[in-house]
Amino acid sequence: MSFGLGNLPYGVFSRPGEPRRVGVRVGDHVLDLAAALGGDVYAAPSLNPLLALGRTAWQETRARAREAAATGDHLVPLTEVTLHLPVEVADYVDFYASLEHASNLGRIFRPDDEPLKPNWRHLPVGYHGRAGTVVVSGTPIRRPCGQRPSFGPSQRLDIEAEVGFVVGVPTRPGERAGAFEDHVFGVALVNDWSARDIQAWEYVPLGPFLGKSFATSMSAWITPLDALEEARVEGRSQEPEPLPYLARQAPWGLDLTLRVDLNGETVSTPSFRDMYWTPDQMLAHMTVNGASLRTGDLFASGTVSSVGQPGSLIELTWNGADPVKLPGETRTFLEDGDTVTITAWTSHGISLGEVSGRILPAT
Ligand SMILES: O=C(O)/C=C/C(=O)CC(=O)CC(=O)O
Ligand SMILES: [Ca+2]
Ligand SMILES: [Mg+2]
């Protein structure tokens, strides 16, 4: 069964006319944690109070949720609930950790330069995104307007299939993060919607801004790290060897296969296993300067692209030169009414749920 007792991801749900509360997905049901376990932490409208409690409490909650799920009580059919943004997102950071994606985008955006800038193999390159525009899967996405450079609706609206990491335990200013599993609660699927025409014009020299800040979608379900134990793998080998603060202390590569569906047709199946930088290295890098973490921080891997299986349309269609074929039509970039759904699985059958969104016309 999908979403069996080895999975048990967390989300926030409501029944009609009732307040939001924390739930755990069990098959096609939501386990109402406040009803099953009692406690204010689960009656909250976001996972943040639970996130702040730390690893021992996360593991206790998981063990108790598994027992409760097995009894069959307090299970609400998914069809009777609305799912909400699971996390009150504090800060949002987006990395650029796929060698294939970074090389492809370099070739497309900067054809006269080396595809990878000299820093790329020395640190996980990233930028700060806009936490306030992170939306839950299923939220419609309005096509953005902006300078392309003439003003108007984006004509190159794209997706980025990513894996996101939700921070539970914060750090104080000046303090570096400790072990990955002591800070990171779990994993989400992310679609970092990107207006390539706006991006290409605005990004020099400071990086992405309005081309990516209009909306970022995340899955309704956050998979706890403990559900991914069997998917952990050594990261890809790195040359040159990273500085000591970036040294991997434990295997935090993840054997996940993503699937990108455009209007119901699978267009790519990138592997997260092939990422160059692993999420523990991203966390270490993000805090090495003393920048503090907050409960609810979300950091995403950057586009997950592997050889022949890119996580964006700009790569898949080579900037529109080579359209993808769908039944009875083709696509370069997204059209109004298109729906993109990203799913992911471990090789052991743990599902990371989905992140989905449909494009609405510009206003
Ligand atoms: O190479 C560039 O100038 C831009 C790259 C991106 O758009 C990628 C980005 O947002 C980070 C990522 O998703 O990997
Ligand atoms: Ca991105
Ligand atoms: Mg975004």
**ipTM value for the complex:** 0.94
From residue 76, alpha-carbon distances to 30, 80, 82, 136 in Å are 5, 7, 11, 20
Q: What is the pLDDT along the chain (363 residues), one digit of tens a residue?
A: 689 999 999 999 999 999 999 999 999 999 999 999 999 999 999 999 999 999 999 999 999 999 999 999 999 999 999 999 999 999 999 999 999 999 999 999 999 999 999 999 999 999 999 999 999 999 999 999 999 999 999 999 999 999 999 999 999 999 999 999 999 999 999 999 999 999 999 999 999 999 999 999 999 999 999 999 999 999 999 999 999 999 999 999 999 999 999 999 999 999 999 999 999 999 999 999 999 999 999 999 999 999 999 999 999 999 999 999 999 999 999 999 999 999 999 999 999 999 999 999 999
CB atoms within 10 A of CB 31: 27
Domain annotation covers residue 4: no
Query: What are the structure tokens assigned to 265, written together?
Result: 């047709």
Q: Clarify whether residues 355 and 297 are in a common domain.
A: yes
Query: Which residue, of 34, 59, 84, is where some domain finishes?
Result: 84
Secondary structure string (H, E, C) spanning 6-66: CCCCEEEEECCCCCCEEEEEECCEEEEHHHHHCCHHHHCCCCHHHHHHCHHHHHHHHHHHH
**Lookup result for tokens 């987006």:** 94
Q: How far is the CA of 9 from the centre of ligand 2 (A)?
A: 24
Q: Could you tell me which residues are beta bridge partners of residue 77?
A: 29
Query: What are the structure tokens assigned to 213, written together?
Result: 């800040």
Q: Clarify whether residues 238 and 336 are in a common domain.
A: yes
What is the span of the domain harbouring residue 23?
A: 10-84
Residues lining ligand 1, Cβ inside 6 A: 94, 96, 101, 105-106, 109, 160, 192, 194, 203, 208, 302-303
Q: Is the dihedral of CA 87, 91, 92, 93 positive or negative?
A: negative
Using DSSP's 3-state secondary structure scheme, residue 68 falls into helix
Q: How far is the CA of 306 from the centre of ligand 1 (A)?
A: 15
Domain annotation covers residue 3: no
What residues have a C-beta under 5 A from ligand 3, the ion?
Answer: 192, 212, 216
Using DSSP's 3-state secondary structure scheme, residue 272 falls into helix
Q: Clarify whether residues 286 and 180 are in a common domain.
A: yes
Checking DSSP bridges between strand 351-360 and strand 141-142, what pairing results, if any? parallel
Q: How far is the CA of 184 from the centre of ligand 2 (A)?
A: 20
> How far is Cα 161 from Cα 353, in angstroms, rounded to an integer?
13
Q: Is the dihedral of CA 47, 269, 304, 237 positive or negative?
A: positive
Q: Which of 92, 93, 95, 101 to mutate to test the pocket of ligand 1 (most atoms within 8 A of CB)?
A: 101
Q: Clarify whether residues 289 and 351 are in a common domain.
A: yes
Q: Clarify whether residues 163 and 291 are in a common domain.
A: yes
User: Which residue has the CA at smallest separation from atom 4 of ligand 1?
Assistant: 105
Q: Clarify whether residues 154 and 293 are in a common domain.
A: yes
- 84 labelled catalytic: no
**C-alpha Rg value of the chain to the nearest Å:** 20
Q: Clarify whether residues 54 and 123 are in a common domain.
A: no
Residue 145 sits in a domain whose CATH number is 3.90.850.10
**Lookup result for tokens 């692993």:** 278
Decide if 24 contacts 33 (C-beta within 8 A).
yes
Residue 296 exposed, middle or buried by CB count within 10 Å (0-12, 13-18, 19+): buried
Q: Clarify whether residues 288 and 268 are in a common domain.
A: yes
Catalytic member of 29, 74, 84, 101: 101
Number of domains observed in the structure of the chain: 2
State the pTM of this model.
0.98
Ligand nearest to the CA of 131: 3
User: Which atom of ligand 1 lies nearest, measured to the CA of 125?
Assistant: 11
Q: How far is the CA of 285 from the centre of ligand 2 (A)?
A: 17
Decide if 74 contacts 42 (C-beta within 8 A).
no
